[in-house]
Amino acid sequence: MTHEPTVPSRSSEVLPAVTAFTETFGRQPDGVWAAPGRVNVIGEHTDYNDGFVLPMALPQGVRAAAGRTPGAQVRVLSLQETGDPVTLELGTRPGEVAGWAAYVAGVVWSLRSAGHDVGGVDLVVDGDVPAGAGLSSSAALECAVAGALNDLFELGVEPTELARLAQRAENDFVGMPCGVMDQMASVNCREGHVLFLDTRSLLTEHVPFDPARHGRTLLVIDTRAPHRLVDGEYAKRRAACEAAAAALGVPALRDVALDDLPTALSRVDGEEQRRRVRHVVTENARVSDTVRRLRDGDLDGIGPLLTASHASLRDDYEVTVGELDTAVEAALSAGALGARMTGGGFGGCVIALVPDDRADTVFDAVRTAFADSGYTEPSAFTATPAPGARRIR
């Protein structure tokens, strides 16, 4: 198929980071840790409302080759960036580092702020999650580094707490007010499963997910649409949800049941805020419905739920752009059983559940629609649920 990704085998994945570590720091690393990116099957913009999400890990991720040093510095080289390693003091505080290194510095800061004794360390990070595609490249970076530090300094932090601390790095060091979905997915996902996560209790269920067994493909289509205003718009959505919850007298929009939605809507001010509430409440219900269908082995039954999720994100949450809508429409017209944007929106990727023998046709239809609209040519790959963060060497 023309849209297959080049997913490197394990040894070729590990090697560049190890070679660069040896060349840069003049010794072998103590080990190599990996953490994946993710696609979210359904449950978008629900995590910061204490709601439900259903992500799966991708084979693409970040590898971190790491070795302890006696000093009080973190030196980190990224194979995706040019230039020398970045050197950070262990006491680096929020606001003192910008760019990609802030994710690494943020994890060090977050662990140390929580009382964990992280010392000097050298790191080389190497990733193959497309950046800015909504596939959680930042959480993969945070979680690979967090996993390395946890093991190297024998911190004994449990996976869920590690995800929380990685989220804190992103919230309070990088300054992105994300929920916990991406870090939980990166740390806790299992091969062959989607992760049903209650973002309030952080309880998880690993739900088997094997489209190939049903003759189905989960296609990830990267629209390559540049993220526009993503940070500010994300923060605005989050603030609107929190204001609506406060107006309704509930801790979070998760506490509004679907049956109570009409009453809740009548108590919220303004059409825009009503739309935001409607998205979150209906999306939580769609996640529960999707999980029920997957547990029953009804894979095709999730198709309409994916498509309904997209419509809600487009019309009520207003986080789609022309490229995302065009990709969904073209995929559905060409025979997809369901399709939706995935991730934060304002660009990034669409997922489409398609019969195996329609995968090429569906992607060709999206490509043609993009050419007709004058959009950048999209790319695509087949998503298979991969393992979560782990030590790989």
Under the criterion CB under 6 A, does residue 179 sit at the interface with ligand GAF? yes
- What does the alpha-carbon distance between residue 375 and residue 388 come to, in Å, rounded to a whole number? 34
Q: How far is the CB of 86 from ligand GAF (least distance, A)?
A: 23
Q: How far is the CB of 74 from ligand GAF (least distance, A)?
A: 24
At residue 322, what is the residue type?
A: G
At residue 389, what is the residue type?
A: A
The candidate with the shortest Cα–Cα distance to 144, out of 29, 276, 50, is 29
- CA angle at residue 324 from 334 to 245, to 5 degrees? 125
Judge whether 383 and 58 are in contact, CB under 8 Å. Answer: yes
Burial 364-385 (b: 16+ CB within 10 A, else e): ebbbebbeeeebeebbbbbbbb
Judge whether 350 and 341 are in contact, CB under 8 Å. Answer: yes
Under the criterion CB under 6 A, does residue 182 sit at the interface with ligand GAF? yes
Question: Does the annotation count 182 as an active-site position?
Answer: yes
Q: How far is CA 127 from CA 87, 137, 151, 160, 190, in A?
A: 20, 8, 20, 22, 20
Q: How many residues would you count in the chain?
A: 393
At residue 234, what is the residue type?
A: Y
Under the criterion CB under 6 A, does residue 48 sit at the interface with ligand GAF? yes
Q: How far is the CB of 178 from ligand GAF (least distance, A)?
A: 3
Q: How far is the CB of 290 from ligand GAF (least distance, A)?
A: 14
Choose the binding region for ligand GAF from 39-47, 115-123, 190-198, 214-222 (rule: CB under 6 A): 39-47
Q: How many residues in the shown chain lie near ligand GAF by CB under 6 A?
A: 10
Among positions 13, 47, 122, 128, the unique one binding ligand GAF when judged by CB under 6 A: 47
Give whichever of 41 and 256 is closer to ligand GAF, judged by the CB atom.
41
Choose the binding region for ligand GAF from 40-48, 158-166, 252-260, 351-359 (rule: CB under 6 A): 40-48
Write phi, then psi, for 367 (nearest 5 degrees).
Answer: -60, -45
Residue 234 annotated as binding site: yes
Which is catalytic among the residues 126, 128, 182, 316? 182
Choose the binding region for ligand GAF from 43-51, 140-148, 240-248, 301-309 (rule: CB under 6 A): 43-51
Give whichever of 241 and 327 is closer to ligand GAF, judged by the CB atom.
241
Residue 110 annotated as binding site: no
At residue 373, what is the residue type?
A: S
Residue 388 annotated as binding site: no
Judge whether 223 and 380 are in contact, CB under 8 Å. Answer: no
Q: How far is the CB of 345 from ligand GAF (least distance, A)?
A: 7
Strand-pair category, 121-127 with 73-78: parallel
Give whichever of 147 and 344 is closer to ligand GAF, judged by the CB atom.
344
Q: How far is the CB of 176 from ligand GAF (least distance, A)?
A: 7
- What does the alpha-carbon distance between residue 22 and residue 14 come to, in Å, rounded to a whole number? 13
Binding map of ligand GAF across residues 326-355, x = CB under 6 A, - = no contact: -----------------xx-----------
Residue 106 annotated as binding site: no
- Tokens at residue 195, please? 């992760």
Write out the binding residues.
44-47, 78, 132-138, 170, 234
Q: Which residues are catalytic?
A: 182
Q: Which residues bind ligand GAF (CB under 6 A)?
A: 44-45, 47-48, 178-179, 181-182, 343-344
